[in-house]
A = this chain, B = another copy of it.
Amino acid sequence: MVSFGDVTGGRGFGAPMRFEGSVYDCEVVGKVPTSLNGAFVRVGGEWFYPPMKPDDSPFNADGYVSMFRFRNGIVDYTGRWVRTPRFEADRKAGRQLYGYYRNPFTDDPSVRDPSRPNLRTVSNTNTFAFDGKLFTLKEDGLPIRIDPKTLETVGSYNFGGQWTGETFTAHPKLDPETGEMIAFGYEASGLASNDIVFQFFDKAGKKKREVRFKAPYVAMLHDIAITEKHILIPVCGYTASVERLRQGGVHWHWDSKLPSYVGILPRDGEAKDVRWFKGPESSTVHTFNARTVGNKVIMEAPIGTSNPFPFFPSIDGGPYNPLGGRCFLRRQTFDLNSKSDGFTDEVVEGTDMTGLGRIDDRYTGRDYRYAYCGFADREKPFDEAKGGPGLKGRVTNSYGRWDLSTNRLATYFAGDAHALQEGCFAPKSPTAPEGDGYLIGVASNYREMRSELVIIDAAQMQEVARVIMPFRLSSQVHGNWFADKQLAFA
């Protein structure tokens, strides 16, 4: 018998939505483009049983995967739990067996095994398609394979035994021209290890090689960027140690004294070829994109100045600074000819944004023009009476499109009682020019207490259709558009 109380973000819009379901032929305002055939597949966290520790990170909530399936202008919705081994163990026990985020020492004795931390992944961070297969991902474990027809969980996946290491990133990269997958794991040889392993697969799913090296310190390595020639690995001030984990807290602490780094590995390089560039305290959780121009490697990312997540404490016990996670679109340029470990860093445009940056993925690693990100447009009204705790004044009510050729921002506003989750870009056709397509993302309508999928013409930054859901959707971390040719949807 489940009792939540207020431990999971309270009631109102953040109240638990712990169900599985389908909506057929969803209600639509506007007109869904009939050329959009595929699915927007998103994943996030939803507690099946309440967290064992009331102050735990939301990153520790059970994975919940959902899909908006587009066919000839008709949209169907399905949402399901990601049935990880952990989910099944909890269900069998009828209670929460797992303790703090990525701290197996805090687990119930019946499942406690710090030597196999990846068995407790909730797989709640990103969705990914490769080699005709659909996955949910979380960086503390292996991918969970999902049936794209039903969203039923197939099981853990190690690429037919080819994947080495305990973990697999939530942000593998696909080279849009070669189809190659560049993926990595960190804490790759066990809990709080600083081992990184990069692994390279051809487009047919065959592993070509791997490179192992060590991070400057045990850090959260959430996202990378690739160019045609290089891989960029941002390292920022979260750190962990087995000793601290044994003491029974969450995995990460923010250490303001730690420098940030960006590692650069040539795509055909070995461990000895990794070069670490060093910067001041900052947080690069996600990237937009990067490119190699001559001897320079250039990356854009939404970058903050300090700890972006209040549920991961400062290592010195100090108070949380809410401005630390405020991101700006920054460009960092690394000169491979330089003998210095420094780099140049500039703000491209002065509007602050979320840390969730997206591009037209067909331009991954190449020269590109458009960066997409959610942001809080303060000039637009938000109905604060409906906002709930924490939303006042900084609601992500808009998507922005930053034009890197002009440094100008074009915006889309979702509505005066709406907060946007991360959107993604879907091209109008495989051969459409960059940015000629749709931004797709979920808006929370606080007034009607329901979610809405917004579909925006990305060239005009104007809404063309809105799918009206009959309920609130679980909060999403990442979501992606997969075209019919990528996955065999129903």
> Which A residues lie at the B interface, using CB under 8 A?
1-4, 11-12, 15-29, 31-32, 48-49, 73-75, 77, 79, 91, 94, 448-450, 468, 470-472
Contact = CB atoms under 8 A, between A and B. Distances in A.
Contacts of A471: 17, 19, 470-472
A19 B12 contact: no
Contacts of A94: 25, 74
A1 B448 contact: no
Contact of A12 (B79, B448, B468): B448
B18 A21 contact: no
B73 A470 contact: no
30 contacts: A1-B28, A1-B31, A1-B32, A1-B73, A1-B74, A2-B27, A2-B28, A3-B27, A3-B28, A3-B29, A4-B468, A15-B448, A15-B470, A17-B470, A18-B23, A18-B470, A19-B22, A19-B77, A19-B471, A20-B22, A20-B23, A21-B21, A21-B79, A24-B48, A25-B49, A25-B91, A74-B94, A470-B471, A470-B472, A471-B472
Contacts of A450: 15
B27 A19 contact: no
B12 A25 contact: no
Nearest 5 interchain pairs by C-beta: A21-B21, A449-B449, A471-B471, A19-B23, A17-B470
B11 A27 contact: no
A448 B27 contact: no
A312 B356 CA distance: 54
A99 to B, nearest CB: 20
A93 to B, nearest CB: 11
Contact of A16 (B16, B77, B470): B470
A16 B27 contact: yes
A196 B20 CA distance: 43
Contacts of A11: 448
B27 A470 contact: no
Contacts of A4: 27, 468
Contact of A25 (B1, B31, B472): B1
A61 to B, nearest CB: 14
Contacts of A79: 21
A407 B26 CA distance: 50
A94 B76 CA distance: 13
Contacts of A32: 1
Contacts of A26: 2
A91 B22 CA distance: 15
B16 A19 contact: no
Contacts of A1: 25, 28, 31-32, 73-75
A15 B472 CA distance: 13
A32 B3 CA distance: 12
Nearest to A49: B25
Contacts of A15: 448, 450, 470
A460 B32 CA distance: 54
A21 B22 contact: yes
A27 B49 CA distance: 9
A366 B429 CA distance: 72
Nearest to A29: B3
Contacts of A77: 19
Contacts of A48: 24-25
A254 to B, nearest CB: 33
A195 to B, nearest CB: 38
A299 B405 CA distance: 83
A2 B77 CA distance: 13
A21 B20 contact: yes
Contact of A18 (B2, B27, B29, B75): B27
B2 A25 contact: yes
B28 A470 contact: no
A132 B89 CA distance: 34
Contacts of A20: 21-24
A169 B77 CA distance: 35
A74 B1 CA distance: 5
Contacts of A31: 1
Contacts of A22: 19-21
A384 to B, nearest CB: 16
Given A4-B468, A470-B472, 15 more contacts: A2-B26, A4-B27, A11-B448, A12-B448, A15-B450, A16-B27, A17-B470, A17-B471, A18-B470, A19-B21, A19-B22, A19-B470, A21-B79, A25-B48, A25-B91
